[in-house]
Chain A
Amino acid sequence: MTRYTTTTEADREEMLRAVGVTSTRDLLAEQIPAALLRDEPLDLPDGRGEQEVHAHLRDLAGANTSAEDEVTFLGAGMYDHYVPAIIDMLLGRSEFLTPYTPYQPEVSQGGLQVMFEYQTAISELTALPVSNASVYEGPSAVAAAAYLAKLHNGRGKLVVSAGAHPHTLQTLETLAHGYGQEVVVVPLKGGATDPDAWAAAIDETTSAAIVQQPNFLGAVEDVAALTAAAKEAGGDKLVTVGAYDPITLGILVPPGEAGIDVAVGEGQTLGNRLDFGGPSFGFFAARDAFLRRMPGRIAGETTDVDGRRGFVLTLQTREQHIRREKATSNICTAQALNALAGVVYLGWLGREGLPELAELLARRTHYARTTLAAIDGVELLHDRPVVREFALRLPGIDVPALVAHVQDRGYHPGLPLVRTHGDEHADGLLVALTEQRTKEQIDRLAELLVGAIAAQRGGGSASPQAAASRNGVAA
């Protein structure tokens, strides 16, 4: 077995003598009742050395089809962006990887300044004055914003657009049940939040009105109109919440300029890997009025006894370790290392690079949507403006089978919407772009879709495996 302990037999003898016991078992038996003290080992396989364990983890990796193995147009909340080499190198540094939360600021100025820089970057991105130092990820960040709204106005209803990520809707439902709030979902119309239904659903019992931008189907919403209608119907105490894909803030109107009070979102697109869904980070930014209701850690600037500029965790009276049952959140450990990746990435993109990247995405997405929609058998699910992701319909096509057919040929065409929306979008496909998807790859995807549709229409197999099993042969 591997062990990372250092005690030799000789060490143990000396230490036991210093403690004044004959054996470790005696030391434990002094404290743990006999009925609970195990002698039989846990039922786990024996431990192994590093190279064997490495081989095993490699085998497990080998049974996964990653973005390394196929050209992927999968999105739906996480995206295969390019992560620059400096991020691997900086996140691997001992001084960033291994310390704890900065409870002793004198020896944590690195981490605290990173938080301060990250807060600045998020504030700039969202055009809102205050950001915290990260929360866990996207959907739970929306739930945290709903909790803030409840603390702020004490109202009981949450109104959320059906354009929110299905995981956001489910998380809100689960956590709002705890907070004691009711969730009302406003349907989409033509791909975007139905403005009439939105206004009708909101009144002075509404705590927060929540919209996602771009929405789950990739459509760019008119957030300014939605927030104006929400404040009109719900009054000033209502809190408007926007869940944003941060990369798109290189081209879209930022939440602070669209009437949003609290902006949150999934930060994975900023310098973080896919990692099968985590860890990443959630961002959380708000207007000044909400500062003392913000969840999570916040770093603030100050000076030391000699006048040096420095940083500390501040406004800690909001947090669980001081305010306990009245805290703004129970969050303790957050996502500091992933937020470091985020701020480094934003510096790497730079003031000009982020708008360039966002425009590049919009142009390629437009080309991809036009190209794919031109295929016989493929329609647009909606024709709202899009900037990095769009939804298609393939009437009469078994979309999961089509996906498998295309995957067998080295491409992933996108998320079959039956997986998240069941019958509502049974023939839907959600296609996402990143800067890694080239024109050539888009063209190749179009070819593959043509082939996959033809294979289904031809009444033949959609995949080599299905064909093989029909022929009684192992695939």
Chain B
Amino acid sequence: MSTPVDVPTPVTAEPVLPAAGGADPRPLAAPTTSVNPIQRDHATTIFEKGAPGRRSFVAPDAGVPEADLDEILPAGLRRTAPARLPQVTEGEIVRHYVRLSRRNFDLDTGFYPLGSCTMKHNPRLHERVTALPGHARLHPFQEPERAQGALELMWGLERQLAEVSGLPHVCLQPSAGSHGELAGVLLARAYHEARGETRTKVLTPDTAHGTNPATVTMAGLEVVKVATNPDGGVDLDDLRAKADDDTALLMLTNPNTLGIFDPNIQEIASIVHGVGGVLYYDGANLNAIMGITRPGDMGFDIVHFNLHKSFTQPHGGGGPGSGPIAVSDRVAPFLPLPVIRRDDAPAPGTRTGPSGAAFSLVEDATALPEGAPGSRSIGKLRGFQGNYGCFVRSYTYITSLGAAGLRDASETAVLNANYLLAKLEEHGVRELLPLAFGTRCMHEFVLSGGPLKRELGVKTLDVAKRLLDHGFHPPTVYFPLLVDEALLIEPVETEARETLDAFALVLAEILREAKDDPTIAQNAPYSTPVRRLDEAGAAKRPVLRQPLD
């Protein structure tokens, strides 16, 4: 059901704009305040479909001798009322979810410049190899002798990530970036405790991602914020004032969430190491520097990687991801278990991986030599050894690209971002959406919508919503918090120049349209499956499941 939409009349006749796909040369008439037929689909959950008696699953016969169920499981332990799951056929399920999928915008379909998320193309080879039964149907408790391929792959990924980061010891276990952060903070704590020191403070810049302070609290420590200087880097004076012998670690990313590489990083490392603290690198922005520079060389002790950012694990609408960590020698003994060890000269008859080496999975810290990675392990952060399906994809990616390919990826990411910045300048976009800090950027940059809001009453949010009508996913909005009306744009290396050109033109068009009539953007989007949603109502009166009574 939909009420008739009050459609504003287009202000000009037919500006000609490039297609959102970027490469299609045929021009499009101005989008688009028109109604999208998909808007007439009323959202209906699977629970509201189907009927009693419909089904998909056919249970096999038990095939075993009859037995009284009460003998197997006393009635008091058995469920009386079944879960009210849907009753639908396979055809109904497929149609429901396929139609639902069409209400999503996705990366395969269009440009997705979400800053800090690194929305690069997800190669389809990765889906094929992950689905090989030798990987997909391997049980995590399989005897390690019969999982040599998996262990060799994991060991190989560990070596690759060690080389990219410049830190030799890797653990693949954490399930996502923030899980890796938690591992990092717990490792730093363990390192200090082992030296007989209790340090309670974690320094984070005020540009930090929200997961950083949340992680610190979960690890039982306290956040101390460090100021940002006018160039967008860490304020060294503030850092010197706050770093002391209660500092457990400094959590930083470089380039930071403003897309700026802090040129003082070696000084920062020296200040923190000077007070005995540990330096932690949030790898969310690794896409800017692969093969170009390395956190280990900058002085970091702990790095986490987001395999679902730089290393192509598809985002899946919110996961799965994977957050491996790499650490320096002094932190390595505390790494989580299990640890993979490689034997290059196994006894004859030992099962090996294709390389000829034999791999073991050590689950017990006491079985490890003194000082070896994991020998004083903090324990486990989750079940088994981590999101192996993600390891397969990232390993495949790095193997495909090699050193030169990784460097090409990061260089192109930086070039694309600076190019887009230049095009936005050329089209006059940066008058109302100025660059918040500096003049150059690494792989992403932050514009401020402050002037746009003051002059035209149009907010960053409105620009984002109007971009949806043009077939682009908006950049990240309102992050980092340091920038007023922030618009964080990360074009990534897999996008073609034509797409970047198209995006710049469209942003210019949105601003031109806003000067004429700000209400168009303020009431956008018009052509998406639903229009602006009442988020306050959803929070005040939460309805979090389909009622079934």
Direct contact of A and B (CB under 8 A): yes
Contacts A57-B132, A362-B73, A385-B77 given; indicate if A306 touches B123 (C-beta within 8 A).
no
In the bound complex, do residue A330 and residue B72 qualify as a contact, i.e. CB atoms below 8 Å apart? Answer: no
Residues from chain A with a CB closer than 8 A to the CB of B140 are: 77-78, 274, 276-278
Instruction: Decide yes or no whether A92 CB sits under 8 A from chain B.
Output: yes
A101 within 8 Å of B (CB atoms)? yes
Question: Of B39, B123, B127, B142, which one neighbours A92 at CB under 8 angstroms?
Answer: B127
Chain A residues within an 8 Å CB radius of B483: none
Chain A residues with Cβ below 8 Å from B63 are 364, 438-440
Closest-by-CB residue of B relative to A171 is: B380
Question: Which of A58, A64, A304, A335 is the most central at the interface, judged by chain B CB atoms within 10 Å of its CB?
Answer: A64
Q: Is the CB of A63 within 8 A of B149?
A: yes
Contact status B396-A53, CB under 8 Å: yes
A117 with B46: CB separation less than 8 A: yes
CB–CB B134/A98 < 8 A: no
Taking CB atoms, residues of chain B closer than 8 Å to A129 are 545
Given A94-B106, A99-B315, A178-B219, verify A353-B55 contact (CB < 8 Å): yes
Contact B149 A314 (CB under 8 A): no
- The answer to whether B291 and A277 have CB atoms under 8 Å apart is no
The 8 Å CB contact of B59, one of A21, A66, A360, is A360
Contact A3 to B72, CB < 8 A, known contacts A114-B317, A320-B178, A333-B177: no
Nearest CB in chain B: distance from A457 CB, A: 22
Check A253 against B531 for contact (C-beta < 8 Å): no
Q: Mark A31-66, 1 if CB is under 8 A from B, else 0.
A: 111011110011111111110011011111111111
- Tell me, in angstroms, the Cα distance from A432 to B196 when the chains sit together: 45
Most buried by A among B181, B261, B390: B261
Question: In the complex, A101→B306 CA distance in Å?
Answer: 15
In the bound complex, CA of A332 to CA of B322 (Å):
12
The answer to whether residues A66 and B531 also contact, given A43-B403, A179-B218, A475-B349 and a CB cut-off of 8 A, is no
A366-B57 Cα distance, complex, nearest whole Å = 23
| Given A15-B419, A60-B150, residue A435 in contact with residue B87 (CB < 8 A) | no
Contact, CB under 8 Å: A310 / B533? yes
- Chain A contributes a number of interface residues (CB within 8 A of B) equal to 218
B135-174 CB mask vs A (1 if < 8 Å, else 0) is 1111111110011111011000000100110000000000
Chain B positions within 8 Å of A474 at CB level: 348-349
Minimal beta-carbon separation of A32 from chain B (angstroms): 5
Distance (Å) between the CB of A364 and the closest chain B CB?
6
Q: Which residues of A contact B60 (CB under 8 A)?
A: 360, 435, 438
Does chain B have a CB within 8 A of A204?
no
Residues of A416-469 at the interface with B, using a CB-CB cut-off of 8 Å, are 419, 435, 438-440, 442, 465, 468-469
- For B324, list chain A residues within 8 Å (CB): none
B229 at the interface (CB under 8 A from A): no
**Are A117 and B546 in contact (CB-based, < 8 A)?**
yes
- CB–CB A107/B104 < 8 A: yes
Query: Does B402 contact A24, Cβ atoms closer than 8 Å?
Result: no
Which one, A4-12, A195-203, A226-234, A372-380, is touching chain B? A4-12
**A336 vs B313: C-alpha distance when bound (angstroms):** 13
Contact of A278 among B315, B348, B387, B535 (CB under 8 A): B387
Give residues of chain B (66-91) contacting chain A, Cβ–Cβ below 8 Å: 67, 69, 72-74, 76-79, 82-88, 90
| Cβ–Cβ contact A107 & B105, under 8 A | yes
Q: Let me know if A117 and B315 touch, CB within 8 A.
A: no
**Taking CB as reference atom, which chain A residue is nearest B108?**
A94
Chain A residues with Cβ below 8 Å from B141 are 74, 76-78, 415, 419
A396 at the interface (CB under 8 A from B): no
Alpha-carbon distance A416/B333, docked complex (angstroms): 28
Do A47 and B404 touch (CB < 8 A)?
Answer: yes
Stretch at the interface among B11-19, B92-100, B428-436, B511-519: B92-100
Which residues of B sit under 8 angstroms from A362, Cβ to Cβ? Answer: 69, 72-73
Bound form: Cα–Cα A278–B64 in Å: 33
- Of the stretches B206-214, B235-243, B271-279, the one at the interface is B206-214
Highest count of chain A CB atoms <10 Å: which of B56, B348, B390: B56
- Shortest distance between the CB of B291 and any CB in chain A (Å): 5
Which residues of the other chain, A, contact B43 by a CB distance below 8 angstroms? 109, 113, 308-311
**Are A64 and B402 neighbours in the complex by a CB distance under 8 Å?**
no
Bound together, the chains give a CA A16 to CA B125 distance in angstroms of: 32
Chain B positions 26-42 with a Cβ under 8 Å from a chain A Cβ: 39, 42
**Quick check: B149 and A278 within 8 Å, CB to CB?**
no
User: Within 8 Å of chain A (Cβ to Cβ): is B248?
Assistant: no
Interface residues in A99-146 by Cβ distance below 8 A to B read: 99-111, 113-117, 119-121, 123-125, 127, 129-131, 133-134, 136-140
Most chain A CB within a 10 A radius of its CB, from B127, B136, B186, B308:
B136
Distance of B351 from chain A, by nearest CB (Å): 8
> Which residues 362-398 in B have Cβ within 8 Å of A in the complex?
363, 378-390, 392, 396, 398
Interface residue from B146, B210, B215 paired with A64 (Cβ < 8 Å): B146
Q: Among A19, A37, A177, A312, point to the contact of B535 (Cβ < 8 A).
A: A312
Once bound together, how far apart are the Cα atoms of A53 and B379, in whole Å?
34
Contact A96/B379 with A106-B525, A277-B140 known, Cβ cut-off 8 Å? no
Whether B345 sits at the interface, judged by CB under 8 Å, is: no
Shortest Cβ-Cβ A-B pairs, 4 listed: A61-B134, A47-B402, A337-B316, A277-B384
- 5 example contacts (A-B, Cβ-Cβ < 8 A) are as follows A41-B407, A58-B132, A80-B137, A117-B47, A385-B77
